Copies of this chain bind each other. A is one copy, B any other.
Amino acid sequence: MATGDVKLLGAWASPFAMRPRIALNLKNVDYKYLEQNLGGKDELLLKSNPVHKKVPVMIHKDKPICESLVIVQYIDEAFTSGPSILPSDSYDRAIARFWAAYIDDKWCASLFSIARAKTDEEKATAVGGVTTGLGLLEQAFKKLSKGKGFFGGETIGYIDIALGSYLGWLRAAETLAGSKYIDETTTPNLTVWAERFCSDAAVQDLMPESEKLLDFAKMLLSGKFDPPK
């Protein structure tokens, strides 16, 4: 569906900015993508998101919507084209929101803490948080996917978007650490899921190149940048 009245302010390395783009692809909504310079702040970004001054921002019919998961829910509700992103049942919807909140509030904090850890103990705690979280998500996947390919069932849903958007960063973290966080032994379902997610038509052109992301991650670690959010 072509709308012509959707703009998306994003940044290539931001997992959060990837989320509404995946949702718009799933809904077959055409949109104008405006890559933002993470080092500076464009006037449109400051005007559209004066509270956080961060990507992503979606502008629909000249009205801005901010915060990645808020935007994804809005896209699901405002565009009836394409599959539903959140489940239709209210209890299932609550479970999807629970896991998405877990991913952003708890798991993501551990992921970004790995790079920021100043001592071996801090690093071990962060790595432990990531692997424990992936263990919980592996269990959740088995329960929620019901033998299908995604947390959302046959197609990419809300939890898939929430977790999948971090896969580029997770891989960068794996490369830096020299070990896998998602692997066939401890998280066999997530291993297959991650490959399926990244090769989905709605995602494949949005996942950042590993090398480029790794260079960017190293720049972040050098202290020249705040992590994107």
Q: A interface vs B, CB < 8 Å?
A: 51-52, 60, 63, 65-67, 69-71, 73-74, 77-78, 90-91, 93-95, 97-98, 101-102, 136
Given contact pairs A67-B101, A70-B97, A77-B90, a sample of 6 additional A-B residue pairs in the complex whose CB atoms are under 8 Å apart: A51-B136, A52-B102, A66-B98, A70-B101, A78-B90, A78-B91
Min distance, Cβ A90 to any Cβ of chain B, angstroms: 4
Residue of B with least CB distance to A78: B90
Whether the pair B51, A74 counts as a contact (CB closer than 8 A) is no
Q: Are A77 and B102 in contact (CB under 8 A)?
A: no
Please tell me if the beta carbons of A91 and B74 are within 8 angstroms of each other in the complex. yes
CA distance A60 to B74 in the complex (A): 26
| Inter-chain contact A65/B78, CB cutoff 8 Å | no
Q: How far is the CB of A41 from chain B (nearest CB, A)?
A: 18
The distance from the CB of A219 to the nearest CB of chain B, in whole angstroms, is 26
Give 28 pairs: A residue, B residue, CB < 8 Å, sorted on A.
A51-B102, A51-B136, A52-B102, A60-B91, A63-B91, A65-B91, A65-B94, A65-B95, A65-B98, A66-B98, A67-B97, A67-B98, A67-B101, A69-B101, A70-B94, A70-B97, A70-B98, A70-B101, A71-B94, A73-B94, A73-B97, A74-B90, A74-B93, A74-B94, A77-B90, A77-B93, A78-B90, A78-B91
Bound together, the chains give a CA A51 to CA B136 distance in angstroms of 8
Give, as a whole number of angstroms, the nearest-CB distance from A215 to chain B: 29
Q: How far apart sit A63 and B93, CA to CA, in the bound complex (Å)?
A: 13
Chain B residues with Cβ below 8 Å from A69 are 101
- A52 cross-chain contacts in B, Cβ below 8 A: 102
Chain B residue nearest to A99 in the complex (CB):
B51
Alpha-carbon distance A136/B51, docked complex (angstroms)? 8
**Chain B residues closer than 8 Å to A90, beta-carbon distance:** 74, 77-78
A101 / chain B contacts, CB cutoff of 8 Å: 67, 69-70
Kindly list chain B residues whose C-beta atoms are within 8 Å of the C-beta of A71: 94
Nearest-Cβ distance from residue A97 to partner chain B, whole angstroms = 5
A36 to chain B, nearest CB (A): 19
